[in-house]
Every structure is written in structure tokens, then in C-alpha cells.
Amino acid sequence: MATCQLCGKKPTFGNNVSFSKRHTRRMWRPNIQKTTLTLDGGVSVQVKLCTQCLRTVSKTK
């Protein structure tokens, strides 16, 4: 599903807890973006990255 190809971040599950302490199930999804990376050999590759990895990759360019 929505998984970062660099760090492996994927959806996690937990509970919403209301003021009255009711628990309902919910899911946190990472913000996955399709981007094109240019590798050392000049080859362009399309990958799915979370926004945190996307910022890290853009700093190392």
C-alpha cells in the first residue's frame, strides 16, 4: 500500500481518545509522494518517498 521505498514507513494503527475517554480505532498514513530521482549514472528512477525522506534526499543532492 502506501509504503516509503527508502525508510519503509507505512500506515500505523491506534485509537482516537475523546474527552469522555471513548476509544475508536483509526489509522495514521504517511505522506507518500511519487518523485523522480536521478542516480549517479544519469538514470532517472521514479520512487515513492515519504516527505521526510524527500527533504533528506533533496539536501544531499
27: Cβ contacts below 8 Å, ≥ 6 apart: 11, 12, 13, 14
Please report whether residue 22 resides in a domain: yes
Please report whether residue 7 resides in a domain: no
Domain count, the chain: 1
Q: Higher-confidence residue: 43 or 60?
A: 43
CA pair distance 7, 55, nearest whole angstrom: 13
Find where cell 515513492 sits.
48
Q: What is the CATH number of the domain that holds 28?
A: 2.30.170.40
> What phi-psi label fits residue 22: left (phi over 0), alpha (psi between -120 and 50 degrees) or beta?
beta
Asked if residue 48 has pLDDT above 80, the reply is: yes
pLDDT score, position 59: 79
Please report whether residue 2 resides in a domain: no
Please report whether residue 56 resides in a domain: yes
Please report whether residue 49 resides in a domain: yes
Taking residues 28-55, report their average pLDDT: 92
Please report whether residue 24 resides in a domain: yes
Question: For residue 58, what pLDDT band results from cuts at 50, 70 and 90?
Answer: confident
Determine the structural domain holding residue 30 and report its residue range. 12-60
Tell how far CA 21 is from the center of its chain. 30
